[in-house]
Amino acid sequence: MPSDLRQIEDRLRAAYADAAETVRPEDISERAPAATGAVRWRAWARTAGRRSTALAAAVAVLVIVITATVTPQVLQSGSRHRNGSQPAAHLPHSHMAYVLGGAPRDLLIPVNLATGAPLKPIHFGLRGGETGIAISPDGSLVYVLTVRGQLVPVDVSTGTAGQPIKVGGVSQELVTTPNGKGAYVLEPPYGVEAVDLAARTALGFIKVRGADGFALTPNGKTLYVLGTNASTTISTTDLVLTAIDTATNAAVSTLTLTGPDLKPHLRGWHVMEESVTMAPDGKTVYVSYMAFNATTPLRADAWIIPVKVASGTELKPINVSRSGIQNFTISPDSQGGYVSDAQSVTPIDLRTGTALRPIPLPSAHHSYPQQSYALTFSPDGGTVYAVDESGSTVVPIDTATNTAQQPIRLTGWPNWMLDDGVFAPGGKTLYVLSHANDMTNAVRMVPIDTATGTAGKPIDIPAGLGGIVFSP
Partner 1 sequence: MTDSAPSVDPCRGGIGVQAAGLPGGGLLRQQQASAPADLVAGLYQTHGLALVRTALMLVGDKPTAEDVVQDAFIGLYRAMPRLRSDDKALAYLRASVVNGCRSVHRARQRAFARPVQHSPTAWSAESAAMAREESRLAMQAVSRLPRRAREVLALRYYLDLSDAEIAAALGISRGSVSSTASRALAVLARELNGEL
Residues 297-316 that bind partner 1 (CB under 8 A): 298, 300
Part in contact with partner 1 (CB under 8 A); list of ranges 107-115, 257-265, 306-314, 368-376: 368-376
The H-or-E segment that residue 348 falls in is: strand 344-349
Cα angle, residue 396 at apex, residues 354 and 379 outer, rounded to 5°: 75
The H-or-E segment that residue 429 falls in is: strand 429-436
Which residue, 55 or 400, has its beta carbon nearer to partner 1? 55
Which residue, 71 or 334, has its beta carbon nearer to partner 1? 71
Part in contact with partner 1 (CB under 8 A); list of ranges 116-124, 135-143, 292-300, 301-309: 292-300
Q: What are phi and psi of 438, to 5 degrees?
A: -155, -170
Q: What are phi and psi of 73, to 5 degrees?
A: -65, -20
Residues 410-439 that bind partner 1 (CB under 8 A): 438-439
Choosing from 368, 381, 402, 425, the residue that interacts with partner 1 (CB under 8 A) is: 368
Choosing from 5, 315, 404, 424, the residue that interacts with partner 1 (CB under 8 A) is: 5
Part in contact with partner 1 (CB under 8 A); list of ranges 35-43, 154-162, 356-364, 449-457: 35-43
Beta bridge partners of 118: 111
Q: Dihedral, CA atoms, 392, 398, 403, 409, nearest 10 degrees?
A: -20
Choosing from 9, 333, 398, 449, the residue that interacts with partner 1 (CB under 8 A) is: 9
Does 71 sit near partner 1 (CB under 8 A)?
A: yes
Residue 365's Cβ-count burial label (10 Å; 0-12, 13-18, 19+) is middle
Does 168 sit near partner 1 (CB under 8 A)?
A: no
Does 322 sit near partner 1 (CB under 8 A)?
A: no
**C-alpha to C-alpha distances, 236 to 228, 291, 314, 326, nearest whole angstrom:** 7, 10, 19, 18
Binding-residue total with partner 1 (CB under 8 A): 91
Does 120 sit near partner 1 (CB under 8 A)?
A: no
Choosing from 220, 292, 377, 420, the residue that interacts with partner 1 (CB under 8 A) is: 292
In contact, 371 and 316? CB cutoff 8 Å = no
Residue 223's Cβ-count burial label (10 Å; 0-12, 13-18, 19+) is buried
Residue 17's Cβ-count burial label (10 Å; 0-12, 13-18, 19+) is exposed
x-marked contacts with partner 1 along 10-29 as a string, rule CB under 8 A: xxxxxxxxxxxxxx-x-xx-
Cα angle, residue 100 at apex, residues 387 and 208 outer, rounded to 5°: 85
Residues 376-415 that bind partner 1 (CB under 8 A): none
Rounded to the nearest whole angstrom, what is the least distance from the CB of residue 88 to partner 1 in the complex? 25
Rounded to the nearest whole angstrom, what is the least distance from the CB of residue 236 to partner 1 in the complex? 11
Does 3 sit near partner 1 (CB under 8 A)?
A: yes
x-marked contacts with partner 1 along 129-158 as a string, rule CB under 8 A: x-x---------------x-----------
